[in-house]
Amino acid sequence: MCGIAGIFRPDGRALPPETREHLIRMTDALVHRGPDGAGHWLCGPIGLGHRRLSIIDRRGGAQPMTSHDGRYTISYNGEIYTYRELRKELEARGARFTTLSDTEVIIESVRLFGVSALTHLEGMFAFALWDAKERTLLLARDRFGKKPLFYTLQNNACYFASELSALTALPVLSLHIDQAAIIRYLAHEYVPEPQTVYKEAKSLLPAHYAYVTQSGVTMERYWDLPEPKKAAKADDCIAECRSLLTQAVRRRLISDVPLGVFLSGGIDSSLVTALMAHEIGRVKTFSIAFTEASYDESRYARAIAERYATDHHETVLSADQCADILPSVIEAMDVPMADASLSATYLLARATRRHVTVALGGDGADELWAGYENYPAYALGRLYRRFPRSIRLGLIEPIARNLPSLSGYVNPRRALATFLHAAYTPDWLGIQDLLTAHHAEDLPNLLSRELATGYNWLLKEEFLFAATKLEYEAWQNASPLARAFHVYCRSYLPYDILVKVDRASMLNSLEVRAPFLDTDFAEFTARLPLEFKCRGLTGKRLLRKACADLLPPRILNRNKRGFQIPVADWLRGRLKPLAEDLFETSRLQQEGFLNAKYVHALMERHVSGAADLRKELWTLLVLQLWLRAQAKKPAVRSPTDTLWPIR
């Protein structure tokens, strides 16, 4: 696991002498992604930089790496789990190797298969590959986007890196905060790719490769999840499920450094722990316990640790600890994201890194296997609209308005209000609406007058949530619920969950692997008919059956519990002074994004207990912390007077 950076002049002219200094500055900004070594390579129009976290072939895998014949040079971030099998295939076809690393396997795969080599790579990756013979630069990213890659075209060159922080480290670049991206962030809680929070920078999309030429960056998709289809007998699918998941875990055990597993006590991480224990014996497990009882699930993690006799490490967190670390974590992020579990994930990664360099986790299972309560809520919402108006308006919704408002993990009044709002949205928007922090109808009041006026066109749902609509409509022949799966797998998973895990872990120089996102296993899961995944309120149906012997009933039959923190209480107590400072009128007016009067009203309603606005206020708090950090960076400019439309 590493960090990459580079500069390329598509016109073929040699890079100026100061390029090495620029590469060093970029890689220095990525030191947390690779503390074990650094490398810089320049040749004519191309310069590549690398920071290394040594996992495989610790002696011989230094980068940037040039092929034995000098044709290819690569800077690569990631792990190819099947590189040994692929190496044997390449050697049978005449390939030569001088190292034991997976990096060289990528080079030789491209030599033999061309860009279709990407379909042979099982793992997580982002890389830049220079072909000296063809004078071309290839950028590529893994199927689910577990590893990031950003670029900007400026100064007659393409600058690219694993994080936007490497771009903001260069004063020679002009990066302006994109007001349209901020608006989308307020709705999504993240900025949907390929857009980034800066006007001039873009993200290479997951499962895409790109060639950089004088005409720009040309992206092409090389993979997608298959649509659901009728399956064979359930018993056959159960056996295949178990076999493929076992294979996925086994693949992710390759390492020359110690491994562990994030163990929450939920089904997903418990299965990874069980299968890992069967493969390697005693496993190191790591979990978080909260002092706030309604958020604490540590007893479930301990139950699995005891069953498999793991070397278990439990970190107990209080609200004060998470709140204290929050500003520094948000400020270290290269992108604003309002996932409330970020600080807890960061602290878990920090505790884990004291013992191991690699950890396995359960990421992706909830999106692929209907683990979220949002899936049945979406399906029920489509049915709810058909209820007689007299029942909806005369009975159910009045009751909803009078439900108790609690500050714990679940607030019944807020949960039902969220469900009802989503139920009345179009089918394509319903699944996204269950996640939304600030709805389209709220934004004209939330935004500053100038922003709301200048971006009036963006405040329409079909533009604000254009990425959601695109992913929903991609599966033309699938049911609405199946399309909802696709939306989460192609948006929420790569742009929220995987970004959170990547940044929280890499800020601690920890590599995290996701067996549930193994290509073979994910494709198998995607093809399953919906009834094999969920029925009624129960998700992961076939997965539970396939692994029933591995988990005790109290774990196997648990409902999904997100990795959350007590945001509602914090905003009324521990974080209230910080929020009030960041929401100060003059600060908001100077930044020019938010309507101070409206923000203050939200805060007053929440603090008084009149409403539970944890999600809305948390999204705003994270934005303000992130903006405060950006103001200190030399390459980041304030929004210009000219409002940029998104094309």
Domain boundary among 221, 245, 263: 221
Which of 247, 300, 295, 256 shows the shortest CA–CA distance to 275?
Answer: 247
Element (H, E) at 151: strand 150-154
Is residue 450 a part of any domain in this protein? no
Same domain for 89 and 209? yes
Same domain for 46 and 161? yes
Same domain for 277 and 130? no
Same domain for 87 and 217? yes
Side-by-side strand order, sheet with 259-262: 311-317, 284-290, 259-262, 358-360, 511-513
Same domain for 29 and 113? yes
Instruction: Report pLDDT for 447.
Output: 97
Dihedral sign computed on CA atoms, order 144, 284, 317, 374: positive
Is residue 479 a part of any domain in this protein? no
Strands (E), 253-356: 259-262, 284-290, 311-317
Is residue 323 a part of any domain in this protein? yes
Q: Provide the domain count of the chain.
A: 3
Dihedral sign computed on CA atoms, order 447, 453, 456, 458: negative
Is residue 301 a part of any domain in this protein? yes
Measured distance CA(298)–CA(301) in Å, rounded: 5
- Residue 265 backbone phi and psi in degrees, to 5: 100, 0
Q: Which CATH number do you get for residue 360?
A: 3.40.50.620
Domain range for 580: 566-647
Same domain for 145 and 180? yes
Is residue 382 a part of any domain in this protein? no
Same domain for 543 and 572? no
Is residue 277 a part of any domain in this protein? yes
Same domain for 597 and 512? no
Same domain for 527 and 591? no
Same domain for 244 and 217? no
Instruction: Report pLDDT for 641.
Output: 35
Q: Residues 498, 145: contact at Cβ < 8 Å?
A: yes
Same domain for 155 and 296? no
Is residue 354 a part of any domain in this protein? yes
Same domain for 305 and 329? yes
Domain boundary among 556, 580, 599: 556
Instruction: Report pLDDT for 326.
Output: 87
Q: Which CATH number do you get for residue 191?
A: 3.60.20.10
**Could you give the angle at the alpha carbon of 27 between the alpha carbons of 176 and 83, nearest 5°?**
115
The residue with tokens 């709805």 is 439
Is residue 411 a part of any domain in this protein? no
Cα dist. 192→139, 297, 336, 596 in Å?
20, 31, 11, 26
Go through 196-224 and write b for each residue having 16 or more CB atoms within 10 A of its CB, e for each that does not. bbbbbbbbbbbbbbbbbeeeebeeeeeeb
Instruction: Report pLDDT for 33.
Output: 95
Give the residue ranges of the chain where pLDDT is below 50.
Answer: 640-647
Domain boundary among 221, 256, 284: 221
Instruction: Report pLDDT for 642.
Output: 34
